[in-house]
């Protein structure tokens, strides 16, 4: 049938249109496609609501900013950086041990040997002597800082940082500890941290080497700090935009709910003031009754339209009701001008009490608000016979 109505070109156009709708459902919100949107909704489809627009009319893209700061966005001078060293941690002294004068003197001798080895360029030998000195006198911050400085010369920044940390633990005001750790961090490209350490070292005990190192470190540190400020600003802007987006969304939802409620209220008022309209809207279906006021509204509408109303009382536990209910359900199609009502006596007790219902199923025939007849029991023939009698 579809092949006869549409040629291959039109079918291809339809496929292309469906593909576009899948990629961008907002197409269906265009006024010119309202007929198609109504058709889809009648089949149970849910059309996504219109996206919130900014003041410029563009859709908010809340995910356009990265959550994390990406330092690779910044051009840095990393010519002096090295690959991190991953050697096992060097030996450290026992800070809880008591240092005797004899050990302190022996540590000084080892330190002197280390300084001689450094002057001769024998850096690994110097490390060994300094390790001996540290084990003899683990309470000396200068020994840790000196060994850290040798590790920097050996391009082993992680080892240097471990020793600098130990020196600063012993003496938090160790200028050499901050200086060497700053130099080691710079070797790893940790520019902000390096700048912080070197500035502290300079405040405690300034020297030319610190100043020279800062000249190399601070430009990179400033770039990263500016980069961080930029992303903090962008993240804050994103946070505020999200707050505004959520506010507008809640406002739109509240407005839609209010308009829906208002429309429903207006429709109810219209039905109450226009009985013919109310009756027409219920043609061909059975209306459930849940309260006396609801029943009176429906009966008044039927009376105003000079129509017969049938009030069917039933119950979920009633066997005869289950037998005749399908038949009753089929009657609105045959008698569209009759108002077919239905009430469950357990759910609408006030309605059943008002009509003195003593058994079910029971069918009350009502005209002009008054009972004109009734059928009690699941008698299909009697029911339809009386409908034909009073509906004419």
Q: Which residues are catalytic?
A: 318, 321
* Residue 361 · residue 321 · CB < 8 Å: yes
82 contact partners, CB below 8 Å, separation of at least 6: 155, 157, 187, 188
> 342 - beta bridge partners?
288, 312
CA 148, CA 184: separation in Å to the nearest integer? 9
Crossing angle of helices 191-204 and 175-187, in 10° steps, is 160
Give buried/exposed letters for 301-328 (b at 16+ CB in 10 A, else e). Answer: bbbebebbbbbbbbbeebeebeebbeeb
CA 174 – CA 204 distance, rounded (Å): 8
DSSP 300-339: HHHHHTT--EEEEEE-TT-HHHHHHHHHHHHHHHH-TTSE
Query: What DSSP designation does 186 have?
Result: H
CB 356 within 8 A of CB 363: no
Q: Which residues contact 95 (CB under 8 A, 6 or more apart)?
A: 138, 139, 169, 170
CA distance 149 to 164: 9
First to last CA, the chain: 42
Q: Cis bond leading into 361, ω under 30°?
A: yes
Rounded to whole angstroms, what are the CA distances from 115 to 123, 124, 145, 205? 9, 12, 13, 21
């Amino acid at each position: 049938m579809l092949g006869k109505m549409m040629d291959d070109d039109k079918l291809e156009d339809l496929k292309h249109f469906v593909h576009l709708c899948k990629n961008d459902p907002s197409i269906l919100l265009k006024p010119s496609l309202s007929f198609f949107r109504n058709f889809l909704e009648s089949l149970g489809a849910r059309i996504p609501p219109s996206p919130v627009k900014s003041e410029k009319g563009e859709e908010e893209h809340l995910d356009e900013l990265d959550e994390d700061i990406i330092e690779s966005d910044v051009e840095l001078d990393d010519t002096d950086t090295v690959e991190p060293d991953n050697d096992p941690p060097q030996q450290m002294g026992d800070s809880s041990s008591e240092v005797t004068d004899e050990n302190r003197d022996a540590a000084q001798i080892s330190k002197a040997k280390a300084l001689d080895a450094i002057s001769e360029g024998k850096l690994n030998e110097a490390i060994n002597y300094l390790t001996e000195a540290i084990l003899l006198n683990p309470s000396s911050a200068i020994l840790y800082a000196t060994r850290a400085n040798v590790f920097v010369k050996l391009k082993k920044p992680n080892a240097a940082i471990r020793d600098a940390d130990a020196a600063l633990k012993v003496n938090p005001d160790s200028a050499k500890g901050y200086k060497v750790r700053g130099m080691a961090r710079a070797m790893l490209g940790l520019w902000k941290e390096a700048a912080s350490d070197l500035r502290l070292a300079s405040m405690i005990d300034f020297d030319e080497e610190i100043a020279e190192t800062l000249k190399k470190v601070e430009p990179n540190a400033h770039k990263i700090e500016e980069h961080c400020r930029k992303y903090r600003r962008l993240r804050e802007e994103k946070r505020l935009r999200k707050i505004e987006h959520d506010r507008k969304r809640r406002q739109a939802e509240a407005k839609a709910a209010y308009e829906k409620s208002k429309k429903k209220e207006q429709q109810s008022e219209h039905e109450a003031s226009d009985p013919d309209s109310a009756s027409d809207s219920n043609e061909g279906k059975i209306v459930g009754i849940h309260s006396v006021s609801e029943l009176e509204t429906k009966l008044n509408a039927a009376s105003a339209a000079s129509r017969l109303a049938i009030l069917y009382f039933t119950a979920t536990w009633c066997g005869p009701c289950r037998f005749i209910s399908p038949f009753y359900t089929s009657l609105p199609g045959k008698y569209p001008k009759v108002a077919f009502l239905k009430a469950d006596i357990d759910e609408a007790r006030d309605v059943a009490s008002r009509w003195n219902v003593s058994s079910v199923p029971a069918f009350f025939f009502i005209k002009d608000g008054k009972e004109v007849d009734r059928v009690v029991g699941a008698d299909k023939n009697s029911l339809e016979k009386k409908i034909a009698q009073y509906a004419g």
